[in-house]
Amino acid sequence: MKARWAIEFVGTGSYAPEQRVPNDHFTSYLDTSDEWIVQRTGIRERRIVAPDQSTLALSEAASHAALAEAGLTPEDIDLIIHATATPEHPLPSTACELQATLGCRWIPAFDIAAACSGYVYALINAAQFIQCGMARTVLLLGSESLTRITDMEDRGTAILFGDGAGAAIVRPSTDPERGILAARWGADGSRAKAVYVPAGGSAEPSSIRTVNERLHYMKMQGRAIYKFAVTMMHSLVAETLDDAGVKLDELALLIPHQSNLRIIESAAQRLGLGMDRVAVNIDRYGNTSAASIGLALDEARKEGRVKPGDLVMLVAFGAGLTWASALIRL
């Protein structure tokens, strides 16, 4: 079957900070337990950026790993698309800072703010620029220092999030059957405040009051998002398979956004897909937002769990609310 957008992953890379924080860390000062966290989320530990690290450092490390696998240098890249909810600075884009840090040419570079759907949004964008001839070698990333905007005094969110980065280098494919067979994306802005950071933007600039009221941290309606995700994830996968005329049996691996193991298991069960064909790493990283799919895809490729020619489905949902899926023949 001919791909809708004939692209090829010529390299992937990922990076997670060294510091591991097990669930027990939170039980020392919050009213929570390892048992509650594991049962309700599947998370056992997460990685946290070092004091002298931030999103750019994670992006840089993941980019170097992707370039090394591709056998390319920074000068070969001609577009950077960087998905993040935790940019290095509010201004300019982290993509521009990454361009300079890597030593790329003066190529276009921009950020995408689609929260946990960011990696798939970035991939869909990369495919468009390749298809229309505006780029040949695209570096795309999902990269987050989410713990920097997580309120560590709020047990409802503190236990969920972690830091990391996933990068990929995509190029046009000479094989017309490799690439994205089908993709869907969307957003429901009426639910923008289901997950949001109230202060620090133009609506509510940072001030002593906003800091005192902890409004610079993420606020989340966990249950509402849970319900949204459980219905959205399986229907998005089913519709995307349908778009491509591909049967579930043909899928080598489903790589869902890692937000909650129960959400992932519920989607797999509704689809009738065994968990042996679902990528899970939330136990080790927590929810790393835009980074989660990039991390999981890189792990699956490096472990040999997927190989060229395999069909892989990426599916994500996140703040916005946003969602996106992509069925890829690797």
Ligand X SMILES: CC(C)(COP(=O)(O)OP(=O)(O)OC[C@H]1O[C@@H](n2cnc3c(N)ncnc32)[C@H](O)[C@@H]1OP(=O)(O)O)[C@@H](O)C(=O)NCCC(=O)NCCS
Catalytic residues: 116, 257, 287
> What is the spatial distance between Cα 289 and Cα 136, in angstroms, rounded to a whole number?
27
Q: Which member of 155, 216, 270, 305 binds ligand X (CB under 6 A)? A: 155
Stretch that binds ligand X, among 221-229, 231-239, 292-300, 301-309 (CB under 6 A): 221-229
Q: DSSP H helical segments within the chain, as ranges?
A: 24-27, 34-41, 55-70, 94-102, 118-131, 155-158, 208-212, 222-244, 261-271, 282-285, 291-302
Q: Which stretch binds ligand X (CB under 6 A): 87-95, 198-206, 225-233, 307-315?
A: 225-233
Q: Are 141 and 82 in contact (CB under 8 A)?
A: yes
- Least gap, CB of 156 to ligand X (angstroms): 4
Q: Does 57 bind ligand X (CB under 6 A)?
A: no
**Both structure tokens of 17:** 């900070």
CA 11, CA 1: separation in Å to the nearest integer? 23
**Residue of 55, 259, 281, 325 that binds ligand X (CB under 6 A):** 259
Binding positions for ligand X, 276-305, rule CB under 6 A: 287
Token representation of residue 229:
């995700």
By rule CB under 6 A, what count of residues binds ligand X?
21
By CB under 6 A, tell whether 268 contacts ligand X: no
Query: CA 35 → CA 44, 151, 269, distances in Å?
Result: 9, 21, 23
C-beta separation of 49 from 163 below 8 A? yes
Helix (H, G, I), strand (E, B) or coil at 115: helix
CA–CA distance, 27 with 302 (Å, rounded to integer): 34
Q: Which residue is nearest to ligand X (CB)?
A: 222
Q: Which of 80, 112, 220, 327 binds ligand X (CB under 6 A)?
A: 220
> Between 5 and 228, whose beta carbon lies closer to ligand X?
228
Q: Does residue 116 touch ligand X according to CB under 6 A?
A: yes
Q: Which residues contact 97 (CB under 8 A, 6 or more apart)?
A: 56, 88, 89
Least distance from ligand X to the Cβ atom of residue 131, Å = 29
Site string for ligand X, 300-329 (x = CB under 6 A): ------------------xx----------
Considering only the stretches 64-72, 179-187, 216-224, 277-285, report the one whose residues sit in contact with ligand X under the rule CB under 6 A: 216-224
Distances (CA, A) of 15 to 134, 270, 278: 28, 32, 21
Site for ligand X (CB under 6 A): which residue of 107, 226, 265, 277?
226
Torsion, Cα of 196, 127, 15, 85 (10° steps): -10
Burial of 257 (0-12, 13-18, 19+ CB in 10 A): buried
Candidate list 21, 34, 36, 72; residue touching ligand X; CB under 6 A: 36
Which residues in the 182-201 window bind ligand X by CB under 6 A?
A: 195
As a whole number of angstroms, the distance between CA 48 and CA 17 comes to 6
Binding part of the chain for ligand X, among 8-16, 31-39, 198-206, 247-255 by CB under 6 A, reads: 31-39
Range in contact with ligand X (rule: CB under 6 A) among 71-79, 164-172, 223-231, 268-276: 223-231
Q: Please select the residue that binds ligand X; options are 4, 25, 32, 34, rule is CB under 6 A.
A: 32
Interface with ligand X (CB under 6 A): 32, 36-37, 40-41, 116, 155-156, 159, 195, 220, 222-223, 225-226, 229, 259-260, 287, 318-319
